[in-house]
Structure 1
Amino acid sequence: MSHAAPELIRIATRESPLALWQAHHVKARLEALYPGCRVELLGLTTRGDQILDRSLAKVGGKGLFVKELEAALLDGRADLAVHSMKDVPAELSQPFSIAAILARETPFDAFVSNRYASLDEMPPGAVVGTSSLRREAQIHANHPWLAVSPLRGNLGTRLRKLDEGQFDAVILAAAGLIRLDLAGRIRMQLPAEVSLPAAGQGALAIEIVGERSDLAAWLAPLADPLTTGCVCAERATTEALGGGCEVPIGVFAVPEGEGLWLRGFVARPDGERFARAEARGPIGEAETLGRTLAEALRREGADEILASLGG
């Protein structure tokens, strides 16, 4: 069934500078596809934006950035929501679905510091800021002489805290810095061997109410097949392990010929215990590959680590 070109599309978005960049990016893509369409933004403040004095893991995890936007989809104030894929819980609640995953910006973590060029250069006791248990576990494991301190707030707030001297360095997603024209702040992109990314990191997701087949058809041209395969594999691993923001999990897929190479770990935040594994398989079976990796991680002790964290 064909759907006539849309006349009006309303995008729900958080109001942080990065979220607005992402929404405007999707708006521009839609306007290019459908020149006669009016695309409007509906800015919303989420619980994740409001609670800044506690870590995400302690106040309910990733869903905090999604719920208010989903409410706007349900009551018809908006047609779609744009998210950073890594903020979207591995298991979406009913009746929502991801209509499109856009081409990925760099998936890696960025080392940002005014004093040092790399983690290796930092002296014992120097303080690294991060809000991510995944990053914290890897810093403790690879650079045990460094101190890790929690860092919340939007990108501008985090950089300001660094510039005020509250931290010697901070670790941020490189994609956000690049999108906001702050790539100059990146001293080093951390390779996957040093800081394995989060599932979906660097990719944008468009969420809709599942029954909106008209929207799904309009959004289909925005999807990037390669990114979609990689991200589906990564998210299938996280979902199979039942992990969210509260658990240090890294999962990262890269295309390899016709297939995918998928790496993952589950760890304790203190970096004392790691379960690591990898798997390879065809991109067309991305979700199966993700579950295969989850099983491999279980064989390496992931369940014991998760149980020790109450996960």
Structure 2
Amino acid sequence: MKKLTIATRQSPLALWQANFVKDHLMALYPNLEVNLLTMVTRGDKILDTPLAKIGGKGLFVKELEQALFDGTADIAVHSLKDVPMVLPDGLMLGAYLARHTPTDAFVSNKYQHINDLPQGAIVGTSSLRRECQIRRHRPDLDIRSLRGNVGTRLAKLDDGEYDGIILATSGLQRLGLNARIRHELDTNISLPAVGQGALAIECRHHDTDTLALLAPLNDDNTRLCVLAERAMNHALEGGCQVPIAGFATLAENSLHMEGRVGTPDGQTLLIAKSSVVLQDNQAQNEQNAIQLGKDIATNLKNQGATNILTALYA
């Protein structure tokens, strides 16, 4: 291939992610011309309604996927936590890049820690997952919906609409906004979203030339972790707009995973944990990772996750 086009949203964070991939590809293939096709998605246009009420984070990828079908783009770069569990026929995730910091970040102009917030303090988040877990940790807080790109959310904080807001640590770091982070939330307080901190590249399923170009970008460790996380979410039939958390880590030749399902009010929070020992065979490890995610989902279902999620979707 002599030319490659990347479909991306126009937000500063999405452009950073697309350029991050572009730079890696151009370093690998100096003779490859890489261009960006910027787009505005439905999720970018509707900012006055919580995502859970308008279809979830899949609204951020549909226009990009159409560009892949149309042939106007060869790949689309996504924050993996925004990618639905089931992709359209003909498309696939062709590469998982090395994961960046997966945690949630507490951002405030007045308080150093979420525990420092006074009773009734207003906290903004766009995520039912974060809302559920923060209410569990601090039921006295006033949690309110906060939509928009990172800059928009920070501006609302700076205007005094919120006492604190919760954002993905990786997004702030990618934009050079580390100084805004008061602290990273411990995963015991807020377990990350499935795929959080990881970038994935979507492409056409049978586009072998593109898949060959992307192969060096794959990170095997990240791939194992996110395969387990996404397998859990898929088995729960969960989308991005419900209070589901899933986080897998590698340690001492084992893949460990924790999954959570809760109610938005934080009154109920189901937790399941398990692990699997890794082998020398990457393909077998991937199958084991997927099974680990499924086992976590089964555990959560046995605790009552299905009833919680059914009620939310209804």
Per the shorter chain, which TM-score range?
A: over 0.9
Alignment check: 8 A CA contact 1:277 1:300 kept: no
Tell me the TM-score normalised to structure 1 length.
0.97
Match of 2:259 in 1: 264
User: Aligned match of 1:68 in 52, 63, 66?
Assistant: 63
Identity fraction in percent: 54
**1:95 Cα deviation (Å)?**
1.1
Q: Is 1:254 equivalent to 2:257 in the alignment? A: no
Report runs of 4+ in structure 1 exceeding 2 Å deviation: none
Tell me the TM-score normalised to structure 2 length.
0.96
**1:213 Cα deviation (Å)?**
1.2
User: Aligned match of 1:115 in 110, 119, 143?
Assistant: 110
User: Aligned match of 1:290 in 290, 293, 296?
Assistant: 293
Secondary structure in structure 2 of the residue aligned to 1:97? strand
Q: Deviations over 1:45-87 (max 9, x none)?
A: 0001000010111111121011000110111100000000000
Q: Which amino acid aligns with 1:306?
A: L
Q: Deviations over 1:229-276 (max 9, x none)?
A: 101100110010011123100000010222211001100100111211
For residues 134 and 128 of structure 2, the distance between their equivalents in structure 1, rounded to whole angstroms, comes to: 10
Alignment check: 8 A CA contact 2:81 2:240 kept: no
**1:300 Cα deviation (Å)?**
1.5
For residues 274 and 185 of structure 1, the distance between their equivalents in structure 2, rounded to whole angstroms, comes to: 29
Secondary structure in structure 1 of the residue aligned to 2:265? coil
Secondary structure in structure 2 of the residue aligned to 1:246? coil
User: Aligned match of 2:238 in 216, 221, 243?
Assistant: 243
For residues 39 and 282 of structure 1, the distance between their equivalents in structure 2, rounded to whole angstroms, comes to: 40
**1:151 Cα deviation (Å)?**
0.1
Where does 1:1-311 land on structure 2 (aligned, <5 Å)? 6-283=1-278, 284=285, 285-310=288-313
For residues 68 and 158 of structure 1, the distance between their equivalents in structure 2, rounded to whole angstroms, comes to: 23
Matched pairs, number: 306
Secondary structure in structure 2 of the residue aligned to 1:187? strand
| CA separation of 1:219 and 1:292: change in aligned 2, threshold 3 A | same
Q: Deviations over 1:199-256 (max 9, x none)?
A: 0000000000101011111101001110111011001100100111231000000102
**1:307 Cα deviation (Å)?**
2.2
Q: What is the RMSD computed on CA atoms of the aligned residues?
A: 0.9
Structure 2 alignment gaps of length 5 or more:
279-284
Structure 1 alignment gaps of length 5 or more:
1-5
For residues 174 and 313 of structure 2, the distance between their equivalents in structure 1, rounded to whole angstroms, comes to: 36
Match of 1:3 in 2: none
Q: Which amino acid aligns with 1:84?
A: S
